[in-house]
Amino acid sequence: MGWHWEVSPNANEKYVQPDEQLIKAPAHLSFEELAAIPAAGGTAMHAISYGPKALKPGQTVLAQGTGGVSCFVIQIAAAIGATVIATSSSDEKLKKAKELGATHLINYRTYPNWADEVLKITGGKGADLVVDVAGASTIEQSLKATKRGGVVTLVGFLAGEKKSDIVADVIFGGKTVYGLFMYTKQMTDELCRLLEQKGIKPAVSKVFEWEDAKAAFELLAKGGGVGKAVVKVGA
């Protein structure tokens, strides 16, 4: 084990970290693309490979929307040979989801009861895994869209609060609701190896200069873009 230097937020201070905490960056990625990996990519890898049941080739996963985590879910699942169903409120964003690897596309404004569309696509069985980024407002449909014995992984609560009755669906469907909290170095390291092996590039919606950081947050607030927004620090 070796050591490497890092500069603290106070530029006059330095401290050391063990090399075992470093992750080898995929050589084909830019710094902006690398910046998208840890939080969104690590979380997606957790959802797909480290939850109660790891997604397998030939199985089906549903990704909600086209934010950072969902885009990685699409890319990772497609790379391992799973079938991806993607939802979005925008046909234009769904086109991007297809480019990332999604097989089936559902516009949830056109089909507000999108779980029914998932059941149609899967021959009435449902998806093996649903990665839910919205939370209370979608959990009931997420469970409906999940096969008997399948898993709903809860990643976020982007759509606010809502009272939901999920007990019967969980019990009689033998379904698991898994609350995903954070990610590890191992998960991120595995993702980086997969990205390099398959030549996959993370979805970056737009790169902002530091002085335009406010615009980056405004883009996120209105749900614009596909994938991660990146703010450059320094030259």
Statement: the pTM of the whole predicted model exceeds 0.85: yes
> Is the pLDDT reported for residue 42 higher than 70?
yes
9 within some domain: no
Buried b (16+ CB within 10 A) or exposed e, 7-18: eeeeeeeeeeee
Structure tokens belonging to residue 28 = 């084909």
H helix and E strand count, the chain:
9, 10
Per the structure, the complete domain to which residue 155 belongs is given by 30-231
pLDDT of residue 89: 93
Over residues 10-27, mean pLDDT? 73
136 within some domain: yes
124 within some domain: yes
Taking only the tens place, the pLDDT of each residue in 113-164 is: 999 999 999 999 999 999 999 888 899 999 999 999 999 999 987 666 667 7
Tally of domains within the chain: 1
198 within some domain: yes
Cβ–Cβ under 8 Å, residues 113 and 29: no
* Mean of pLDDT over the chain: 90
208 within some domain: yes
18 within some domain: no
154 within some domain: yes
10 within some domain: no
CATH of the domain at 127: 3.90.180.10
